[in-house]
Structure 1
């Protein structure tokens, strides 16, 4: 089936919008713990460091999930759309279970860990499904997908903001229902793509074979540098806003602005996808990573700015910090062994999210001795590493 035929059939007209919706819906479970952490801290008498622990538990679960999914080549051996559906249902069960079984910090962390585990069957598998449908223009398609995921991650903060004064459990119920609806939509309407490489079997040597390519390693290492910065920035956006409020003695709707600063990244992913059609995915990724790295370097001076410039720079940071993610994934998919594209995306995501755990916990520990104003300078380590490792691909992708 040619791509031109795919684009004009009635059924496939809805392919990308449904995949985008499903990715948004599944991703909405990611930052639920961050959105309700204040309620959990009050209910369970948790410490101030609970936000980092809850964020890290999801990342650790995702890491464990990607390890299992990649070693067993789940997305390549089985129907990706069915894997996606199963993962949304299982993730939703553990997500909503916090309402009844989240009676201690340990139980909350365990349930968030399991939610993260099944997110490994949503995020990279959704990209695998897109790669199976779009042989060309993958950077554009993944731009929409990662943009949807970003918006999904911001969505719990939006729900929390518009339901202020209502029970915090609404956030968990809404995201769980949304996730399952996304899984059902993708499995029942979209299914598996025509470019799917069938017949990949379990192979212990798959991961070493994938990393044997120098181009693949460059793309992966660029992505790893990007991940050092991304989730730590997202996790501590409320802290950045709170520090500014305390420093300048003003009022600011922190959940509202957290949603906007994270959510603006969705537009960056889509814009980057279109721009990649003209300039290539590598140039888009390099430019975004460079911009967010500059934001890291100037972060100590942000807190001295008037409110409007302060928010404007945070919006630029929120735009650039994730605008490269889809393009890194597109190049990872293009440089991977064709039989193991799903496994390659899954294992690279797993390593990337392992890095986020170390980054989040490292910054949480530094908070005990470092002033928050200077903390985010260290985020620049990731973009610098990524730019150095990724630069060789600029002329090729």
Structure 2
């Protein structure tokens, strides 16, 4: 049992390097295909759309509950890697690129939520700690392509694709070979098309899900726009020199530490209380962003982004824990997958919304709109707490 969690965590990291592989090299792709600078938004939305459709498919057909989660994880990693490496083909166009990102995202739906399902099948006690490590692996995997680009800056951009694909295939193989079905896995069920709605009949599940949705309004939009924040600062202060890929990796990667810390401390502070605290801090960061983008020194600006990068994802494993613990046991994998699907749908609305309003307001004030998510998430948690007291 001791080796299981490290293998799941390592595999999750290796496979989720696919997520922002396109984002890290979008500048080079845009130059090669003569695309506009805002194509980053379309690439990010494409993989998010793919993930959404994938999670809906996996949820409606209860894939993670009916079949071996380890097998689902393995097959998904192979297929996601195939569509990722498709970006290395010569002479593809923008439409084909978006299609490849969509299909990569579709099969990431068999990796991220299924990885959480596998962990919940092994670790009923201390699930928050386990998911803290697991979501931390996702964060590190998401940030890794930015670091990889820094290390292989003297090589063609396609090497980022080659490396991330190989890592994903390795991650899937590790799960398939070393992680059998967990001891707490419930027996699979037949297809029940409305099974994915069962969790929302439970008040605790509903509150945890809506808290997660508020968190997701902010999370991926923040991650997607970190390079823009850094670029905006260097444009405003031309004397400042920053290695944007490196600092993007560091700020996003800070979330790995946040998830591990949150997973450990939730055992002492309480999962819901700590999730509310992290959501509140990240919401305050949204509101303070105009000041730090405009008036702070470089050191203060970077410290602020690190604090934001820490708090923006610290609540992710906590909300996932609350969802998993309050979901019906026989459809836990399906419930986790559906909540992920809705959450990632919200990320697209958020990303597109910020892209739209960026045409009308100064970038300095743009990210304060991300506070909408934390505010609504905290409101949902407050209402559930108030209801439980009645």
TM-score where L is the length of structure 2: 0.97
Q: Are 2:271 and 1:281 equivalent residues in the alignment?
A: yes
Rounded Cα–Cα distance in structure 2 between residues aligned with 1:289 and 1:71: 30
- Does 1:92 pair with 2:81? yes
Is contact 1:286–1:387 with CA below 8 Å preserved after alignment?
A: yes
Aligned twin of 2:381: 390
Is this contact kept in 2: 1:282–1:394, CA < 8 A?
A: no
Moved over 6 A (4+): none
* Candidates 96, 99, 104, aligned match of 1:107: 96
* Aligned partner of residue 196 in structure 1, secondary structure: coil
Show CA shifts across 1:331-389 (max 9, x none).
00011111000000000000000000111111111222211100001000000000110
Match of 1:149 in 2: 138
Per the TM alignment, residue 281 of structure 1 is displaced from its structure 2 partner at its CA by 1.1
Q: Does 1:374 align with 2:368?
A: no
TM superposition shift of 1:394? 6.3
Contact 1:63 1:354 in 2 (8 A): yes
Larger deviation: 264-273 or 360-369?
Answer: 360-369
- Secondary structure of residue in 2 paired with 1:224: helix
2:296 is the counterpart of 1:305: yes
Which blocks of at least 5 consecutive residues in structure 1 are unaligned? 1-11
More moved, 159-168 vs 57-66: 159-168
1:1-397 residue pairs with structure 2 within 5 A?
12-100=1-89, 103-249=92-238, 250-303=240-293, 304-392=295-383
Q: Hey, what's the Cα distance between the residues in 1 that align with 2:150 and 2:258?
A: 23
| CA shift for structure 1 position 226 | 0.3
Question: C-alpha distance in 1, partners of 2:208/2:91?
Answer: 39
Question: How far apart, CA to CA, are the structure 2 residues paired with 1:284 and 1:22?
Answer: 27
The 2-side partners of 1:265 and 1:196 are apart by 29
Q: Do the aligned partners of 1:102 and 1:108 also contact (CA within 8 Å) in 2? A: no
From the superposition, tell whether residues 339 and 102 of structure 1 become closer, same or farther in structure 2 (CA, over 3 Å). Answer: farther
DSSP 3-state at the match of 1:200: coil
Task: Encode CA deviations 1:64-95: one digit per residue, 9 max, x unaligned.
Answer: 00010000000000000000000000000000
Q: Could you tell me whether the CA contact under 8 Å between 2:27 and 2:37 is conserved in 1?
A: no
Report deviation, 1:391.
Answer: 2.9
Moved more, 338-347 or 201-210: 201-210
**Rounded Cα–Cα distance in structure 2 between residues aligned with 1:394 and 1:23:** 33
* Cα 1:177–1:257 shift into 2, 3 Å: same
Deviation (angstroms), 1:207: 2.2
User: Does the 8 Å contact 1:272/1:284 carry over to 2?
Assistant: yes
| 1:94–1:111 contact (8 Å) kept in structure 2 | yes
Deviations 1:181-214 (CA, angstroms, capped at 9, x unpaired): 1111011101211000013221022123221111
SS of 1:97's equivalent in the other structure is helix
Structure 2: gaps of 5 or more residues: none
Q: Report the CA distance between 1:247 and its aligned residue.
A: 0.8
